[in-house]
Structure 1
């Protein structure tokens, strides 16, 4: 495949906005050059006129369990491919397949399956793995399995990391558990980002975890000790500690729009990581699916005791964040691109549009409707909308 030059786009690189921008993509799916209308056209290059559409870095979802009836814990290539196709239809170009609390053998099976599929999915690229649980606090477990919660043990952690085949990029745990700080240190020393989630930790316990290597919080405000004026808890620690990047499910259900705005204004977009936390029934019609019920965009356990993930997509998260905060697209874009790339340690090749990086991008209309999704320069989804819609 030869070079392709994308022209006549409103181009958001992640660092600046270029009106009437051009981008040259190599035959290997990396960006060779990017700039304004004076960028020279290579001989024999295929020219793609964007018709004034918005060209953005693709969205990176570091916390996603499933979608369209498929789930990470199904532990099958077909399920991972189904997740990949579904989320590509909503602007995601890379994702971390995320586990949930279960027996050790079931988690290892899911990890090994995902490790074998990294870099090989047909839609959004499976770029790594997020281990959520089983080292969670029962008090803040939400929809996670109570039966399989346990304390972190070095031997089991090592077995999970090995099963992930070098692709473990993020781990969620409750650092206040016995052995929790040692687990944070062990994982961080191995180059894995560690996140506090499903945790009842105090501010002091989170400060100790930060010293041990904690840099992230999982679906902030959900599944954690709340902010109180005499004990800030994990919710307050995320707001107060500059070392922490905070995940956010921006669906208006998990977190009130006013609190979404508060988080962005307190932390800034460079410390907010938008996620979907989408689960298997995301994208399916209202109804019962196993032990959960989908109704009006909400996914809850049948007994109504807890939200059980979301039906959110990354593109909808962007639209919601713009509406809730009043921020322009370019200000919020890092929260869906460069921030998740940094937290997943994918930023050498993903998260912005720059020479040498993967050509992972989306084309949107001026009204933020998805036209097409591209991964490493290849079209993985097209909506049928004209570029000048």
Structure 2
């Protein structure tokens, strides 16, 4: 079956142009300029961007990935799909080894089905001093053997591990992760500048939600933020919800790292798409007020209620990125982090037809995944 989308503004890696594209068997077969050569589905001048890729997401629609409940996980994925996220990694949080393994095994089924793009362990190998919304009683010393068993539970679908570089055993665990094809991400860490560099040298390649759950920048003690920003081997995650990071600090990080090393994430939790109220993240009770999630005890920020379309829109309207830059940090760069940029992340011939149609206000008007409409414009 062939479908032509006509009368569109199309965001490709070469820029934004007026044109059309054709989709066959779930893939993009033609991308053209100007009027379409055949009758197609007119998008009336609306913008088409590649589907968003979210590499750090704990849930939504009342469902929390750390529970491992498949029906709730499907609900969360469906919610984020409607907001333009066509590729998603399910993030877990600190828990007992048994609970993490159980949730991982369950979510691996959804990875087998192509619903999820992988699993991310955010914890338990993180710093007690910077644990944020993670249960400090369940934090553990990094152990390469134990980590290897958790990876086995994922049957090849564990994609990322967040770890604090300063902990005993961390460097060996980072090396183990790299050898197993798991991306090591540094975060929830109280490391020094030098300890962070050691983690990068051991194989860490991502900064988990830069600025958050890390010591602040200091001009005499630069700490992990400076190390992660300046090292060209590292891609940085940023939560662009207006709560976690001020737009000025987002601009600062982007100025240093550029689009090739910057990834927008949601860090969304179960309350995303729901109303204010009380929710659970792992073993921790979370209160959501005015869309901001905080621990009931202590008040630490506990994930977000962000969706990727909002992060994208804020990147253009509040942070000042161009459309092309916002597309890169929302789609292509995260796809590259996952090693999937040959099939997703941009509008190009041969790639999957994962598309988001947006109006002039950069609000979602339609979403397509693998050539099938999730919401039709």
Q: TM-score, normalised by structure 1?
A: 0.92
Q: Secondary structure at the match of 2:126?
A: coil
Work out whether 1:56 is the aligned partner of 2:49: yes
Cα distance in 1 between the residues matched to 2:153 and 2:172 = 20
Q: Which residue of 1 aligns with 2:85?
A: 92
Aligned counterparts of 2:235 and 2:357: Cα–Cα separation in 1: 28
Q: Show CA shifts across 1:246-282 (max 9, x none).
A: 1000111111121111111222122111000000112
SS in 2 for 1:23: strand
Q: Which residue of 1 aligns with 2:69?
A: 76
Which among 346, 354, 377 is matched to residue 348 of structure 2? 354
Structure 1 equivalent of residue 98 of structure 2: 105
Structure 2 match to 1:17: 16
Moved more, 306-315 or 189-198: 189-198
SS in 2 for 1:311: coil
- Residue 38 (structure 1) shift: 6.6
Matches within 5 A, 1:40-51: 40-41=37-38, 47-51=40-44
1:135 and 1:173 in contact (8 A); partners too: yes
Q: Report the TM-score when normalising by structure 2.
A: 0.95
Correspondences of 1:69-218 after superposition (within 5 Å): 69-118=62-111, 120=113, 125-218=115-208
CA drift of 1:239 comes to 2.0
Q: What's the CA shift for 1:306?
A: 0.4
Q: Is the 8 A contact 2:6 2:36 kept in 1?
A: no
Aligned-pair CA distance for 1:3: 1.4
Aligned partner of 1:307 among 277, 301, 310: 301
What is the aligned partner in structure 2 of residue 332 from structure 1?
326
> Which residue of 2 is the match for residue 368 of structure 1?
362
Q: Distance in 1 between matches of 2:94 and 2:138?
A: 6
Distance 1:237 1:99 in 2: 26
The CA RMSD measured in Å over matched residues stands at 1.6
Shift of 1:79: 1.3
Looking at structure 2, the residues matched to 24 and 273 of structure 1 have their Cα atoms a distance apart, in angstroms, of 28
| Aligned-pair CA distance for 1:302 | 0.8
In 1, are the aligned partners of 2:275 and 2:291 still within 8 Å (CA)? no
Q: Does structure 1 residue 237 correspond to structure 2 residue 237?
A: no
Query: Residue deviations 1:59-79, cap 9 Å, x none?
Result: 010000011100102212201
Please give the residue correspondences for 1:369-384 in structure 2 after superposition, counting only pairs within 5 Å. 369-382=363-376
